[in-house]
Amino acid sequence: MIDYSQFPRKNILCVDMKSFYASVSAVTRGLNPLTCYLAVVGNTERQGSVVLAASPALKKDFGIKTGSRLFEIPEDPRIHIVNPQMKLFIRVSTEITKLFYRFVPEKCVHTYSIDESFLDAGKEDPEEMAKAIQSSMWREFGLMCTVGIGDNMLLSKLALDLDSKKTKSGIARWRYEDVPNKLWKVHPLSKMWGIGGRMERNLNRMGISTVGQLAKFPLELLEKKFGIMGNQLVRP
């Protein structure tokens, strides 16, 4: 058994704006971001243009998602196809970051991308903070967010990516103690934050197909194959 008492334990929130580009585009048009059919496309004049974001309903009912092509979107009068408004997206993202400052000090916010941030909740109840952020986000911006909570940044990100979107509340929490039961069974490996398709293929060729197998694989062999990256794979 691993003694987790010696591990640094924080209350980290990883907040992700749900279908950010599509949701912001919907709200500015007076549409409900959860129920409308809307796709943000790189260039609406080019049939081969890529879908940059799709509303949840468009994904669910029509199978259109990020990476789909414009020509794949059905000709349906209910579907809104719009160009990206990057200045608007950046402005809204900046305002959302300011909202976070009402919950934690500025130094405790790490902006990971335009639609995702990490917050250190300190000694505050992280689950109550997550609920309050969700409520404020919907009330002030008309946007939904999901939240992963973890003992460190990695666990909060994994809770976000692998669990939060499956829960009714949109909130999930992972502790160190959850790793063997929740993380080790994860496959394909590309579901793991930090492992891309190329690395996944290399690991598969070594007989590693789950995170658990990776965790138990001899470190010296990983370092021999991947150098310093081999160490980082199991000691993020």
Residue-wise pLDDT tens digits, 44-71: 999 999 999 999 999 999 999 999 999 9
Catalytic residue (choose from 75, 106, 116, 124): 116
Do 24 and 60 fall within a single domain?
yes
Do 27 and 14 fall within a single domain?
no
Query: 143 by DSSP, 3-state: which?
Result: coil
Number of domains observed in the structure of the chain = 3
Residue-wise pLDDT tens digits, 107-141: 999 999 999 999 999 999 999 999 999 999 999 99
Between helix 20-28 and helix 86-100 the angle, nearest 10°, is 100
186 burial via Cβ count (<10 Å: 0-12, 13-18, 19+): middle
The CATH number given to whatever domain includes residue 156 is 3.30.70.270
Give the residue, 11 or 191, on which the prediction is more confident. Answer: 11
Residue ending a domain, among 85, 108, 130, is 85
pLDDT at 41: 98
Cis amide leading into 188 (omega within 30)? yes
Do 119 and 14 fall within a single domain?
yes
- Domain span at residue 75? 20-85
Do 49 and 159 fall within a single domain?
no
Do 14 and 93 fall within a single domain?
yes
- DSSP assignment, residue 106? G
Give pTM, 2 decimals.
0.88
Residue-wise pLDDT tens digits, 162-177: 999 899 999 999 999 9
Do 150 and 97 fall within a single domain?
yes
Between helix 86-100 and helix 126-141 the angle, nearest 10°, is 140
Q: Which of 134, 187, 178, 132 is nearest to 156 (CA)?
A: 178
The verdict on whether 116 is a catalytic residue reads yes
Query: 37 by DSSP, 3-state: which?
Result: strand
What is the distance between the alpha carbons of residues 162 and 157, in angstroms, rounded to a whole number? 8
